[in-house]
Chains A and B, each alone.
Chain A
Amino acid sequence: MKFTWFNLMPWPYLPDDFREKHRSVWVDIDSRLFDPAKSHEVYNSHMDLLEYASTLGFDGIGVNEHHQNGYGIMPSPNIIAAGLARRTKDVGLVVLGNSIALYNPPVRVAEEFAMLDCISGGRLVAGFPVGTSMDTNYCYGQIPALTREKYAEAHDLIKRAWNEPDPFAFNGRYNKLRHVNIWPRPIQNPMPIHIPGGGSVETYDFCIDNTYSYSYLSFSGYIRAKALMQGYWDRVAARNAPDASPYRAGFAQTICVAETDEEAERLYSEHVSYFYNRCLHVYGGFADAPGYRTIKTIQTGALSQYAPPGEGGYSKLTWKDLVDGGHVIAGSPETVRQRMEELIKSLNVGNIFCLLHVGDMPKEKCMYSTKLFAEKVMPKLRNMFPDYADDNRFWCKPLAKRVTPGISTNEMSMAAAVGGKD
């Protein structure tokens, strides 16, 4: 199993009446709700938590890209990952990922991912999302019906930029480049790639054909994800993939651990409520620009995950509803272990993106939950797939020998070494 401690970086100061007074947490969210001075602490707390998780035995720490978004204040995950590369040692840096259709030209992604891989000593796990419609179309102005074609071209360009040893010309529809020849080059080849998807058939095939891991980053939990993930595994079988390794798939799950089930509710319910009621308050008109999803995908009946369940959406769901419905896995270590086991088995997923920070959860509570998960839950879930224990196609392969960042005591005395005058 690969467990990644994943941080969405929500803004924790959305007001109590956010739902009533504001139409959306995303795209046209009121900029006056963002306080730059407060964000200094918010950013650093979130990064502290990612660093903390790296000391507890998680395989990876994860970041992602959103724009103009109150629950994800990380338009550039690469900036965060660069900070983490220096401050962490062995953990995988999961950047899930860069919306490659948004970079002009996309060789920028090839370059930045190569830099992250080199700085971290080969610890990068890269992701290439198409990007949500909110980010890609409404915030970054990409034409919905052309987004996927542009994405596919960007992908081909990045792969070639990493792989071809000599300068080449790239005459794409969206990118005209006479001299592609990136410096630096990544350590890892092939790079482990994860593709976040939301149920589009084309993305299933893209992952299968390229040996990429398919990640379903849902907020509605593992029970509702069953049909979608089954669709993926059916496709894996239908296209005669050489294996059905669980590492071909990943799933994001909100998790809250306490000593007892009651304590979990007492400690975390307000933060869970903050997330589902304020952070997921997305205006319906931004959920899915026409043309963004393919006809084939719409015909499968998959609604956008930003179309909330039932009448009144998440605001009507209580702690009990959210926990019973599997949106959130919460409770004592034993309760959480049981449900995680159910999740892993029923979805057949080897990569878990653990959403252990939820909504406006303060740092200390998050550390408490994270520590309990790392110490009392994670070890018991380690060997769920013994047959695939050696499948490392979808994970980073760091250099055996890596430097320790920072100036050493020896280097401090360089003055002496060069016959210093001190």
Chain B
Amino acid sequence: METKTIDTHHIPVRYFEGGKGQPLVYLHGAGGILAGDPILTKLAEKYHVHAPLLPGYGDSEECGELRDMLDIALHTSDVVDALGLKDPILVGHSMGGMIAAEMAALAPHDYSRLGLICPAGLWLDDHPIPDLFAMLPYEMPQYLFHDVEAGTKLMTAGVALDDPEWLKGFLVQNARQMGMAGKILFPIPDRGLSQRLYRVRAKTVLVWGDSDRLIPPAYAHAWKKAIKGAELVSIAEASHMVTLEKTDQVVAALAKLA
């Protein structure tokens, strides 16, 4: 994966690019993504992958002009345009899935293939999503991973909570990234998408970890109902970070779109 930058109307956008094949745009979740993420590496074996960072993520510039769902969805469409892509396979994980679905609802004729990996964006009163913004780092693995112990190891690698400089860096990164995510996810990750999903015309594949404890599988069924013809692929022994826990199976499920 190469790290590149492209100009857009609002701000220069950092993105990772790699692989050959059909163009695919991958939108990351609230936790962000690194160039070496296994899901990108795996997808790049089959597709020409573009994974733009939302402003404020990684080392990319923040953008105060993006305040709400519409701003962010249109900005992400600007990114796709700037990359010179026409009707790429549009894939999003969690918050990225919410943005991808919004884009496909806003411009139903622009996107014909949509891959949604445990997307945020709906709210079911009977299945409240845990408050990601009120979680301490050590509480997160239980919501994000099927194998909590392995997930904890993954999340705490390189963590030095007792080093003030590390902590400052962490707090700054968290404020930049989750501050941005909060514009569409805080305090409840619902910005009215359920009223607009009827507009989506894309062939849609939903991918969900069976033991997702952040956005539980009840949501998978709500999404399936909301998007006409959507196909649901459930993955056993995986939670919200299904992209890390069962990378191959996620890629296989998305192959239905190719």
Contacts and interface: CB of A to CB of B under 8 A. Distances in A.
A285 B136 contact: yes
Contacts of B164: 301
B29 to A, nearest CB: 15
Contact of A295 (B67, B133, B139, B172): B172
A143 B186 contact: yes
Please indicate which of the listed interface residues A283, A291, A293 has the most CB atoms of chain B within 10 Å of its own CB.
Answer: A291
A141 interface: yes
Contact of B172 (A141, A149, A298): A298
A285 B135 contact: yes
A301 B187 contact: no
A294 B135 CA distance: 20
A295 B170 CA distance: 11
A149 B67 CA distance: 11
B171 interface: yes
A138 interface: yes
A293 B62 CA distance: 14
A152 interface: no
Interface residues of A, number: 24
Interface in B151-202: 164, 168, 171-172, 174-180, 182-183, 186-188
B136 A145 contact: no
A144 B168 contact: no
Contacts of B136: 284-285
Contacts of A144: 133, 179, 182, 186
A291 B64 CA distance: 11
Contacts, number: 66
Nearest to B167: A303
A291 B178 contact: yes
A289 B171 contact: no
Nearest to B164: A301
A291 B175 contact: yes
Interface string A274-312: 000000000111100111111100110100000000000
B182 A285 contact: no
Interface string B70-91: 0000000000000000000000
Contact of B175 (A137, A143, A286, A290): A290
A291 B175 CA distance: 5
CB-based closest 10 A-B pairs:
A291-B179, A290-B178, A285-B134, A145-B179, A141-B187, A290-B175, A290-B174, A291-B182, A144-B182, A290-B179
20 contacts: A138-B134, A143-B182, A143-B186, A143-B187, A144-B186, A145-B179, A145-B182, A145-B183, A146-B183, A285-B134, A285-B135, A290-B175, A290-B177, A290-B179, A291-B182, A295-B62, A295-B176, A298-B175, A299-B172, A301-B168
